[in-house]
A and B are shown apart, each in its own frame.
Chain A
Amino acid sequence: MEYSNPEIPEGINASKENPLKEFFLLLGGIGACIAATIIILSLLAGRLAVYIPFSTEEELVAGGILPEDEGNPEVSAYLQGLVDDLRDELEAPEDMHFTVHYLNSDTENAYATLGGHIYMFRGLLELLPNENALLLVLAHEMAHIKHRHPIIAMGRGVVIGLLLASITGLSGDYFVGQVVNSTGLVTLLAFNRDQEREADATALAAVARRNGHLAGSEDLFKILRDLESRDPINPPEFLRTHPFGNHRIENVRELAQQNHWNLEGGIIEIPPQIQKLVAESELPQ
């Protein structure tokens, strides 16, 4: 009887292929599939969400889930006056109501949410050099509401969140889940930046109609650009909710040229008593 343990060629039980090839194929393939699914679902969610009546949005937030006004009623009234002024220029539907709130916080931001509510933080208001820039901020937030961006974002968030949670749960691996979620987030951010660009365009048109010019609008984006550069992390644009300030300035110039809007004109100061109230409201904190 002859018996031997011959040398078994390598590569039968373990693949000889470079593991990086498998890694990139899997990552690219799965990433592309997730991104494609999210894009399709986001587009569908965007299309469908606008059929939710505005009154439903108002009912959704009626339960007091939104932050309360914590600022000065005079400042709020001033802001509301500007918003009411812009309303007609925005050509918003009749049943849409805009309510602006002033929040006494250092946050350098303003946002629009469900039910036509706009929040203006003291931090941003203090940075704005004139009423022209303030008008553009308010018009921008109103444009979000006019285009139903908050409800679209919510619809998208729910659908995509569900999808990502299912995939993450199925994979069972923590880091794979993280990568899947990040892919989803980056894709959603692209939609977010599209919304910002759309809101910018609508807001610029509204301010141009109201003032007859767009003076001061570049000031706003320059301030936002400076805020970006002060951010210690300063991520690239694909990881951002908003396009870069520089790109938004270019966009202002392009739109102004296309629509023959004048970038020069009268600058209106924010009324001194409002500036004083804003500055004073900071003190107690």
Chain B
Amino acid sequence: MFDLIVFLVLLLSGFVIGNLVERNHYRSIIRREAQLRNLLLIASKKLPDEFMPCTTRMVAGNVVISVDFFKKFVAGLRSLIGGRVSSYESLIDRARREALLRMREEAQKAGAQYVFNVKTETTSLYKGKRGAIGSVEVLAYGTAVTLANQPSMKAG
């Protein structure tokens, strides 16, 4: 009985607080993405010839987000029957976009117009301990490119 109450309180607070945090985070992500849209991310690692001369430097963004109790529980239920673990998808989506944003912010501070060779890496922390709330780390990195002349590519 006591266990049940503790469990329900954890579940409810996980849902309410987790949901609130997630919504706020998404709002911030969407706003900052709009601000930084002109700083282009490019997956290719080869710089076009017309970019020369330019200066390049490494930029990186890193974020760790914890899963809340509610998400973890829903994912645990999901693991019994399989299928899309949508409770973790939003977590990974937020982490990836936040990491890219932090990388872009760093590139912007450096005065870059582009980030080339953009890569992300995802790691889960705390996964070994039974019952522990896990968290996810996403690292985004790339090569920031600052053109010496006006950019020849039109920003979208």
Contacts and interface: CB of A to CB of B under 8 A. Distances in A.
25 contacts: A2-B154, A2-B156, A3-B153, A4-B156, A5-B156, A13-B92, A17-B86, A19-B19, A22-B74, A22-B86, A23-B15, A23-B70, A30-B77, A30-B81, A170-B80, A171-B76, A171-B80, A172-B130, A175-B69, A175-B72, A175-B73, A175-B131, A178-B7, A179-B7, A233-B2
Do most interface residues of chain B lie in helix, strand or loop, or is the interface mixed? helix
- For this complex, into which size category does the number of interface residues on chain A fall? 20 to 34
B81 A3 contact: no
Given A14-B89, A17-B86, A4 B77 contact: no
B155 interface: yes
B15 A1 contact: no
B33 interface: yes
Contact of A19 (B69, B86, B93): B86
Interface of B: 1-4, 7, 15, 19, 26, 30, 33-34, 37, 40-42, 48, 69-81, 84, 86-87, 89-90, 92-94, 130-131, 153-156
Contacts of B69: 175
A30 B83 CA distance: 14
- Shortest 3 CB-CB contacts between residues of A and residues of B: A4-B156, A173-B76, A174-B131
Given A20-B15, A175-B131, A7 B77 contact: no
A235 interface: yes
Nearest to A235: B1
A59 to B, nearest CB: 37
A22 B40 CA distance: 36
Contacts of A2: 153-154, 156
Given A2-B154, A3-B156, A23-B70, A15 B7 contact: no
Given A171-B76, A178-B7, A239-B1, A15 B84 contact: yes
